[in-house]
Amino acid sequence: MVTQVSIVLIGLGLLMILGAMRRTQNLIRILPDRGQWPSLRNLMMFFAVGYAVYLYFLVSGSPFNKDLVASEVFFLSSLFMLMVVRFAYTTIHDILRLDELEELANTDDLTGMFNRRAIMHLLKDEYQKARRFGFPMSVAMVDLDHFKRINDTYGHLSGDLVLKEVAKVLKKGLRRIDVLGRYGGEEFLCILPSTAADGAVIMGERVRRQVKMLRFEVAGPEQLKPVNEEEVPSGETITVTVSVGVASMDSSMTDPEHVVSAADTALYAAKEGGRDRTCSASE
């Protein structure tokens, strides 16, 4: 009885090894850089031979040295575990490197928030969720007023500083579920899940007022530095403002870009209306 059970178990093990060898061979053909996969396949082949020899002696009843075969299988098992651990380490390292590269590809270098490609991809996801479950969703376009004047007067480095500080204010002014990205230049796109038009206007007004509280001290020719609320500036200071356009998704918007377009139109109305204000597409 024990011999029959052993035969069944070893036979199943042999079949599984052959199946694993087939998958490994497919990986070798697919991957341009084979790495250690051929070595793993060869090790499996040795395993298969050992299993087959052991199975043969059990079925035929021929005398053989069980200790020698068992020692071979144990040695190959140890070698197999070593290779699996090395493969796991290499795979985890590659995954972490890919995650880092993906994060760099989706991040705006200056502000540290999502770039345009990433924020539009996330917008599509939120749009589909809102359509599927019937949730409201809004977006807000936030644009710095007279940003070219800042660059021309104080230099591009100061302009970059202003963008960074405004980005910090926007991040603090949004909820944890909201998503923020740099849409381009001095323009930011805010995705507001589960938010109707009136809630989007409230959010727009909140961040608009918070940005207006920022102060920058003119520290020298073409040089600005942010001023904390507790600090007393020693020289001239300037403030910046933003215009905000918000739009909420409705049944007529069959594409997420339609929502962005509506918010952009509202932003244009805010600019035409004198800047430093929030306009809604529903108005």
What does the pLDDT look like over 181-192, one tens digit per residue?
A: 999 899 999 999
Q: What is the mean pLDDT of the chain?
A: 82
Beta bridge partners of 246: 140, 280
Q: Minimal CA–CA distance to 170: which of 212, 199, 137, 136?
A: 212
pLDDT of residue 209: 95
Among the listed ranges 90-94, 233-237, 256-260, which one has the minimum average pLDDT value?
90-94
Residue numbers annotated as active site: 186
**Banded pLDDT at 49 (limits 50, 70, 90):** confident
Q: What is the pLDDT of residue 163?
A: 95
**Is residue 4 predicted with pLDDT exceeding 90?**
no
Q: Strand, helix or coil at 108?
A: coil
In sequence order, which residues have a C-beta less than 8 Å from that of residue 254 and are 6 or more positions away?
none
Specify the pLDDT at position 2: 46
Sign of CA dihedral 148, 150, 151, 157: negative
For the ranges 219-223, 238-242, 273-277, the lowest mean pLDDT is seen at: 219-223
Residue 262's nearest CA partner among 132, 116, 141, 180 is 141
Place of tokens 């020719």: 221
Q: Of the given ranges (100-109, 141-150, 169-178), which has the lowest mean pLDDT? A: 100-109
Q: What is the arithmetic mean of pLDDT over 33-50?
A: 68
| CB-based contact 241:208 (threshold 8 Å) | yes
> Would the pLDDT of 217 be above 80?
yes
Burial class (CB in 10 A: 0-12, 13-18, 19+), 247: buried
Q: How many CB atoms lie within 10 A of CB 222?
A: 15
Q: Higher-confidence residue: 231 or 249?
A: 249
Residue 88 identity: A
pLDDT digits (tens, 9 = 90+) for 126-139: 999 999 999 999 99
**Please, what CATH class does the domain formed by 116-280 belong to?**
alpha beta
Question: For residues 11 and 177, which has the higher predicted lDDT (pLDDT)?
Answer: 177
Alpha-carbon gap, residue 27 to 14, rounded angstroms: 20
Residue that is written with structure tokens 């299993």 in the block: 51
Per-residue confidence band for 236, with pLDDT thresholds at 50, 70 and 90? confident
pLDDT at residue 224, as a whole number: 85
- Provide the residue count of the chain: 283
What pLDDT shows up at residue 198?
93
Tokens of 89: 């380490």
238 has which bridge partners?
216
Question: So where are the chain's domains?
Answer: 2-106, 116-280
In a 10 Å sphere around its CB, with 0-12 CB exposed, 13-18 middle and 19+ buried, how is residue 219 labelled?
middle
Instruction: Pick 69 or 149 by higher pLDDT.
Output: 149
